[in-house]
Structure formats: C-alpha cells, structure tokens
Amino acid sequence: MKFAKKLSLPVWIFIGMFAGILVGLCFLKNPAFTTDYLKPIGTIYINLLKFLVVPVVLFSIMDGVISLKDLRRVGSVGIKTFVYYMVTTAVAVVIGLILVSCFKGAFPALPSAELSELTYEAKEAPKIMDVIVGIFPDNLFAPMVKADMLPVIVIAILLGAGILSAGEKGEKIAELVNCMNEVIMRVLMMIVKLTPVGVFCLMANVVAVNGPEIIGTLALVIGIAYMGYILHVVLVYGSSVRLLSGMSPIKFFKGLAPAMICAFTTTSSNATLPLNIECCNKLGAEPEISSFVLPLGATINMDGTAIYQAVAAVFIACCYGIDLTFAQLATIVLTATLASVGTAGVSGAGMIMLAMVLTSIGVPVEGIAIIAGVDKIFDMGRTTLNITGDATCALWISKLERRRKAKANIQA
C-alpha cells in the first residue's frame, strides 16, 4: 500500500495504459466484455472531464484576460499566440504532404466496385465563411449548452475585456471570476486523479475491438501519419522548446508526459485541457498565460489533425486513382489549416472536417469510409500532437512575458 502511494500519477497512468493493452489483447477474439463493461467506465471518466470543459474554458480565459491587466497586453499576447498556431499548423500540413507524396506509389487504386460499396454518410462539410460567422455568438447561453467552443472563447474574451475596462466596478466580478476559476480547477484535479482507471478501460477496449487486423492494409497510411507526427514533434516542437523557450526538450516531454498519455487515450484535446494546464504550469509556464493560451489552443490549434488531413486526403485521392496537381496540394495546405481551426477538440472531429478538405480538391467525400474504421488510431496520435503544440506555445509566450516584465522592472 505504501509502495502504491509512492508512485506518482504519471506512473499510474503508464501502468493503466499497459495493463489496458494487455487486457485488450486477452479479449481480442471476444471484445464484448470490454465493450460492455470497461468502455462504459471509460465513458464515465470522459463525461466527467467533458462536463467541466465549458466552465474551464470560460473561467480560465476570463481569468487569463483579467490577469493580463491591460487590454493592449491581451491583444499582443493574443496576436502572438494566433500567429504561432497558424504557422506551426501550416508547417504540419506541408510535412504531411511531403511524406505522403514520397509513399504515394505504394497506395493501390481500389477497384471501382469496392469504391461504389462505400457507405460513409458524409455529413455536409461546413463552408469556410459559415465557420467564420459561427465563431461569433448570437446568444450568450446557446454555445455553452452545445459546448460550441469557438463562440465560448469569444464570449470569455469579451467578458474579460469588459471587466478590465469597467475599472473599479469590474473589480468585484474579477475577484469572483478568479475564485470560480480556482473552484473549477479543484474539481478538475479530483477528476484527473481518476485518469489511470479511465486510461486502462479505454485502452483495453480499443485494443480488444480493433486488434491487430484493424491495421491490415491501412498500416502503411497509418505509419505515414505517425511518421509525420514524430517528425513534427522532433523538428518543430523540439526546436521551438529549445530555441524559443530555452528549455531542454527531454525535460519538456518528461513533464508533459501525463497530458500526452491522457490525449492519446481520450482522443480529446478538450478533455486533456486540465491536465495540460497543470503540466505546463509545473514546467514553468506563467499560470495567467497558460490559462489563456491553452484553452485557445485546444480549440484552434490542431497540428496533428492537419497532418492527418493532408495524409488522408492524398491517400483517398490515390484510392480513386486521382493524381493531385500542385494547385490541389496548395489548396490542401490552405483548407487543412482552416479545417483544423474549425475542428472541435473532441474525439473524431478531425475526420468530419476532412470532408471540407476533400470537397475543396474535388475528391469524393465518400472516400472517408476507407479510413473511417481506423480513425481512432489516427486520432490517438493527432490529439497527442495537438495538445503538445499548445504546450510549446504556452512556454514560449510565458518566456516572452517574463522578459517583458523584467525589462519593465529595470526601467521602473
């Protein structure tokens, strides 16, 4: 018992993941047990995390805006964060496209008979302008009820800015927001302690249901996506952490491991947000920065999703025997970057937004059916990347802010 108490949460999460894989392998032939009994426990864990997502994003962004104390500072931190997110996402798409183009020759064009049997019911992909209009709420509560995160972020930023500009009259509300943020974080920490159990149950079910055969013929395209994920982590995040934040990448990945495992198993950036905030703060991010940058990133920054969309779009085009032109590849860079902004930080959302990318290059959306069965495996990796990108940004902006404060102190 004493030994068990000595192990830290990340170690318990690791144990939960490996135990889950083992149990999943035991139930490979008969996944009914894991689906009927373990998956629901995993779902309870995810539900508990999800129900707190709206209050976490609302209060942490409001508190983040308020603690920046000055509207101009909100603007400058916001712009830097946005530019960092967009640039890293565009780089991610390019990495995905280069890699998938190298292996294109190995993708077989599927016989048309097989393609005509595809039955993926494509949900209509939203138009770019509709995504932009949808960011601005026409109602205070509807986005919160629907957990529609982009408008919730706009509401949080506007309310935070309103409190700041109300001066003395806003002070009491600011204090209330700060207290609410603390309360919500405490509740979150209670739920986060259940992570090893949640991870165990979810992992066991994924392995038992999908098994080795899920990989089958799709192994190559999954492998390419994962190569892209790893390249992006090493090249982009490794150099961002080292050069922009001045931190050893090993220290960074060690510190972020609990959040990365949580993302890998829950496949939801939103559900991982609390753990990501905690890991980043422990790694030395300024709490007011992480509570602004991370919730924003969980909603608009999806580098893993962007790589997946690039790889999947080219793969599906090959299955239809379509050789994409340079203009179509350039269109993928643009639409995959935008689609990843519009992707919600929940499980499987990236696959729905893939429809937008496919439509923009004239590839049949039904092709999504080819990879829909293994989307979970793509999603595990892409979500891990998504939250890691947010964390690198939080550390960089924190460093810039510390430097700015030090400069201001010297001048004072």
Strands, E assignment, 136-282: none
Site for ligand ASP (CB under 6 A): which residue of 265, 269, 301, 337? 269
When binding is defined by CB under 6 A, the residue of 63, 286, 303, 379 that contacts ligand ASP is 379
Per CB under 6 A, which of residues 184..243 are in contact with ligand ASP?
none
CB of 117 to ligand ASP, least distance (A): 25
Nearer to ligand ASP, 50 or 73 (CB): 50
Instruction: Compare residues 160 and 381 and give the one whose CB is closer to ligand ASP.
Output: 381
- The CA distance from 256 to 309, in Å, is 25
Of 134 and 348, the one with the shorter C-beta distance to ligand ASP is 348
Nearer to ligand ASP, 100 or 177 (CB): 100
Q: Which amino acid is at 18?
A: F
C-alpha gyration radius of the chain:
22
The verdict on 126 binding ligand ASP (CB under 6 A) reads no
Q: Are 17 and 203 contacting, i.e. CB atoms less than 8 angstroms apart? A: yes
Q: Shortest Cβ distance from residue 23 to ligand ASP (Å)? A: 24
Extract the tokens encoding 35.
Answer: 């689906």
Cα–Cα separations (whole angstroms), residue 192 to 17, 43, 59, 394: 15, 14, 18, 21
Closest CB to ligand ASP among 67 and 383?
383
Closer of 195 and 305 to ligand ASP (Cβ): 305
| Residue 360 and residue 381 in contact, taking contact as beta carbons nearer than 8 Å | no
Please state, in angstroms and rounded to a whole number, the distance separating the CA atoms of residues 326 and 242. 34
Q: Would you tell me how many other CB atoms lie within 10 Å of the CB of residue 67?
A: 20
Per rule CB under 6 A, is residue 381 in the interface with ligand ASP? Answer: no
Q: What 3 state SS string does 373-387 have?
A: CCHHHHHHHHHHHHH
Question: Distance between CA 381 and CA 309 in Å, rounded?
Answer: 13
Task: Name the closest residue to ligand ASP (Cβ).
Answer: 350
Supply the minimum distance, in Å, between the C-beta of residue 165 and ligand ASP: 33
- Hey, how many other C-beta atoms are within 10 angstroms of the C-beta on 310? 31
- The least distance separating ligand ASP from the CB of residue 152, rounded to whole angstroms, comes to 15
Q: Please, which residue, 267 or 398, has the CB nearer to ligand ASP?
A: 267
Interface segment toward ligand ASP; rule CB under 6 A; list 1-9, 29-37, 87-95, 375-383? 375-383
Return the structure tokens found at 137: 């709420």
Q: Which of these ranges, 173-181, 210-218, 265-273, 355-363, lies near ligand ASP under the rule CB under 6 A?
A: 265-273
Please tell me whether residue 383 binds ligand ASP under the rule CB under 6 A.
yes
SS3 348: coil
Residues making up the chain, counted from first to last: 412
The residue (of 270 and 360) whose beta carbon lies closer to ligand ASP is: 270
The token pair that represents 117 in the structure block: 């049997």
Minimal distance, residue 240 CB to ligand ASP, in Å: 19
Are the C-beta atoms of 152 and 144 separated by less than 8 Å? yes
Q: Is 305 in the site for ligand ASP (CB under 6 A)?
A: yes
Per rule CB under 6 A, count of chain residues that contact ligand ASP: 16
Q: Smallest Cα–Cα separation from 56: which of 148, 143, 171, 182?
A: 182
Nearer to ligand ASP, 299 or 360 (CB): 299
268 binds ligand ASP (CB under 6 A): yes
Q: Which two tokens stand for residue 19?
A: 């135990």
Kindly state the smallest distance separating residue 157's Cβ from ligand ASP, in Å: 21
Rounded least distance, CB 50 to ligand ASP, Å = 11
Residues of this chain, 309-368, that bind ligand ASP according to CB under 6 A: 343, 345-350
Binding-site member from 39, 232, 382, 399 for ligand ASP (CB under 6 A): 382
CB closer to ligand ASP, 343 vs 398: 343
Of 245, 335, 386, 392, the residue at the interface with ligand ASP (CB under 6 A) is 386
Q: Among residues 163, 143, 160, 165, which one has the least CA distance to residue 152?
A: 143
Neighbouring C-beta atoms of residue 367, cutoff 10 Å: 26
The tokens 């959306």 sit on which residue? Answer: 365
370, two tokens: 């080819």
Tokens of 218: 């799709």
Residues near ligand ASP (CB under 6 A) are: 267-269, 302, 305, 343, 345-350, 379, 382-383, 386
